[in-house]
Amino acid sequence: MARDAKVLTVSTTAFAGQRQDRSGVAVADALGRLGFAVVERRVVPDGLAPVSGALAELVDGFAGLVVTTGGTGFSPSDVTPEATLLVLEREARGLPEAMRAASPLGPLSRGVAGTVGASLVMNLPGSPAGAVESLEAISGVLDHALDLLAGGKPH
């Protein structure tokens, strides 16, 4: 049975139509290969309000995985982690630690992860390769995490 996932791309230029959303496409494809059904994709501009507002909508009544791509770096407009923290109920610090450890450029990502109700929310980098690499780094624990969030006791 496929698990549901949603992808939120955070990019002012993609939102304005000035460039294509390559990272969101790459993440959605990777999720499909991992057995997820991507039920929604959305693009928002950088900023606390656009990102936190979209995340709040995406997790409302949703049980599954919500991933963001973009806005996790060091530029002044990169505030995806801060916006995500406004929405999370509980942090899951081990997931971004594992993602950062999987890549030589990983330490440059400020992404966070955590839960809201039965949703697992994770920030991925904005580059297509970095986003997919980060997702694959924690793919082995996603089913277990989602089972636990759904109330299962698989251990």
Give the pLDDT confidence of 40-60 residue by residue, as tens digits.
999 999 999 999 999 999 999
Angle at 82 (CA atoms; ends 126, 40), nearest 5 degrees:
55
Residue with tokens 């002044």: 76
Domain boundaries, the chain: 3-149
The pTM of this model reads 0.96
The pairing of beta strand 36-44 with beta strand 64-69: unpaired
Task: Report whether pLDDT(65) > 90.
Answer: yes
CB 126 within 8 A of CB 72: yes
Please list the residues that pair with 121 across neighbouring strands.
66, 114
- The domain defined by 3-149 folds into Molybdenum Cofactor Biosythetic Enzyme; Chain A (3.40.980)
